[in-house]
Structure formats: C-alpha cells, structure tokens
C-alpha cells in the first residue's frame, strides 16, 4: 500500500474553528482512494518526519501565532524550499498570515512572515466575521467561514485563491473582493469551517499533487469497490449540503 505522509503543522496552538477537520478529510479521502496516509503532528521543536508529502496548518489567535513564530522561522528555509519544489500546502487564517510577508497586529506588534505568499496583513479594530462563498476558476465555489482582525493585501503579481461572491463576506480585506492567495501548490485562505470537508475539490487538489510528487501519477489502482462506493456516497452527501449552503 502506498504511503502518503501528511504533516499537521502546530496542531496545539494553531487550530481553531474546526481546522483539524482538514487533516481528517485528507486522511479519510486518501484512505478511500486506496492510499495509506500517515499523519504527523508537528508542534514547536518536533522533528520533521523523514517524508513530507503535504502540509496542513490552521488558524489561531494572535497569541497563538506569537507562540509558533520562532519555530516557524527556524523551519522557514525548509518550508520555502518545499513550497518551491511543489509540496502542496494548505494554510488557514493565522498560518496564512504567517506564510505571507508580515502581520502587523492590532497591538502594533509586527510578526515577520516567511514570504511564501506575496501578501501582507494589517490588524484592524473591526473583525471580519461571517459565512463566506467565493469563486475560483479552478475549484468552483468555495464555501467557508471567516473570523479575522487582520486584513490581507496581495502584492501585484500574487494570485488570490478566489473572489468573494456572498454579499456579507469580506475575504482578504473587505475592499478588493480577493480571498486567499496561491503560489506553487500552496494555498493560503481565511476559510475555516472546516474548509476541506465542505470543499472536496480543494482536498483532491492537495491529495493529487501529493501523490503525483511522490509516486509520479495519481491512480486508484489499490481502491476497493467498497471504498469507491463509500467515496461516491460521501461526495453525493457533500454535494447536496453544498447546494443548501451556496
Ligand atoms: N489572529 C489572526 C486575526 O485575527 C488570525 C485569526 C484566525 O486564525 N482566525 O487576524
């Protein structure tokens, strides 16, 4: 059975609004496609596993971000090299901000990001909170929930994950309709929810890129008929729930 190594980055301090659901979704869908996921929880000072195929980071309060920032900078060269090499990564909210250039908090602190994404974030008094639907040409409609004080602005050449569709959604900053950012196979986004259970197209993007990098191509050769049926059933349920939400 082909193994895929999944890193859950800072699950202790960066994991709010159900972001650990992203890890569960990647693990479950990998199993149902016939792969053997191995999940590694990596907190501060923990070693990297020998193989890293996909990295998932969650959101956190400003205080949580302060707790992980030194460790993140120690890993920054490795993370930048892995991103440039095509390792798929999903960074939600607080980790999205730290994968950008910097985050200036509402208290006036400045946390340097690791610069994987061409974006910077400024904390503002009014939090941006609510359900959010955005559109991406690659993934279609993406459904989630945002809650952040930081407003993120993309550099001119940076690509958003999508554009805000819902009338009450804010996205990166509430003014330019962009949401999230992409570079290489790295996705940064404000979408909690959790994101991946509701948006299998994004989950499958991360899974396919991870498998392609490690094994050359994605296939379902080791999927059992029961696994195929379960996945089809799951996707039908998700489709009807998405229909209601959108
Ligand atoms: N602390 C950040 C902010 O409020 C991130 C919050 C979050 O991850 N939900 O902007």
73 is catalytic: no
Q: What is the ipTM of this complex?
A: 0.93
CA of 61 to the centre of ligand 1 (A): 5
Q: Which protein residue has the closest C-alpha to ligand 1 atom 6?
A: 148
State the Cα angle at 197 between 147 and 129, rounded to 5°.
Answer: 10
> Mind listing the pLDDT tens digit of every residue in the chain (246 residues)?
999 999 999 999 999 988 999 999 999 999 999 999 999 999 999 999 999 999 999 999 999 999 999 999 999 999 999 999 999 999 999 999 999 999 999 999 999 999 999 999 999 999 999 999 999 999 999 999 999 999 999 999 999 999 999 877 899 999 999 999 999 999 999 999 899 999 999 999 999 999 999 999 999 999 999 999 999 999 999 999 887 766
Q: Per-residue DSSP letters for 134-189? A: EEETTTEEEEEEEEEEEEEEE-TT-B-SEEE-STT--TTTSSS-EE-EEETTEEEE
Q: Tell me phi and psi for residue 116, to 5 degrees.
A: -75, -35
* Residue 188 near ligand 1, beta carbon < 6 Å: no
To the nearest 5 percent, what fractions of the chain are helix, strand and coil? 35, 30, 35
Q: Distance between CA atoms of 165 and 65, rounded to whole angstroms?
A: 29
233 is catalytic: no
State the Cα angle at 205 between 190 and 95, rounded to 5°.
Answer: 30
* Residue 148 near ligand 1, beta carbon < 6 Å: yes
Pocket test for ligand 1, best of 14, 60, 64, 195 (most atoms within 8 A of CB): 60
242 carries a ligand binding annotation: no
Q: Distance between CA atoms of 124 and 101, rounded to whole angstroms?
A: 17
Instruction: Kindly state the DSSP code that residue 192 receives in the 8-state scheme.
Output: B
**Res 245: pLDDT:** 67
- The single residue of 40, 51, 93, 184 carrying the catalytic annotation is 93
**Res 193: pLDDT:** 84
Nearest atom in ligand 1 to 65's CA: 1
State the Cα angle at 189 between 110 and 122, rounded to 5°.
Answer: 25
CB 65 within 8 A of CB 104: no
* Residue 227 near ligand 1, beta carbon < 6 Å: no
**Res 246: pLDDT:** 63
Count of CA atoms in the C-beta half-sphere (13 A) of 165: 15
Q: Distance between CA atoms of 45 and 60, rounded to whole angstroms?
A: 18
* Residue 149 near ligand 1, beta carbon < 6 Å: yes
Residue 51 CB contacts under 8 Å (≥ 6 apart), including other chains: 3, 5, 214
The structure's pTM equals: 0.97
């Amino acid at each position: 059975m082909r193994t895929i190594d999944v890193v859950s980055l800072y699950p202790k301090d960066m994991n709010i609004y159900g972001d650990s659901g992203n890890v569960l979704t990647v693990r479950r869908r990998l199993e149902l496609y016939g792969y053997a996921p191995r999940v590694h929880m990596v907190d501060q000072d923990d070693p990297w596993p020998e193989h890293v195929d996909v990295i998932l980071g969650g959101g956190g309060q400003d205080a949580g971000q302060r707790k992980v920032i030194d460790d993140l900078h120690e890993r920054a060269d490795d993370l930048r090299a892995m991103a440039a090499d095509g390792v798929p990564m999903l960074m939600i909210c607080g980790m999205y901000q730290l994968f950008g250039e910097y985050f200036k908090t509402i208290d006036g602190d400045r946390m340097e990001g690791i610069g994987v994404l061409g974006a910077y974030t400024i904390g503002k008094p009014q939090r941006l909170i609510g359900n959010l639907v955005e559109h991406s040409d690659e993934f279609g409609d993406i459904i989630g929930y945002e809650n952040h004080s930081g407003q993120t602005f993309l550099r001119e050449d940076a690509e958003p994950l999508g554009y805000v569709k819902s009338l009450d959604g804010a996205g990166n900053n509430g003014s330019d309709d962009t949401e999230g950012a992409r570079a290489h196979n790295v996705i940064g986004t404000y979408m909690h929810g959790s994101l991946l259970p509701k948006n299998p197209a994004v989950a499958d993007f991360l899974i396919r890129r991870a498998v392609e990098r490690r094994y050359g191509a994605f296939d379902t050769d080791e999927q059992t008929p029961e696994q195929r049926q379960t996945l089809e059933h799951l996707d039908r349920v998700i489709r009807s729930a998405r229909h209601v939400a959108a």
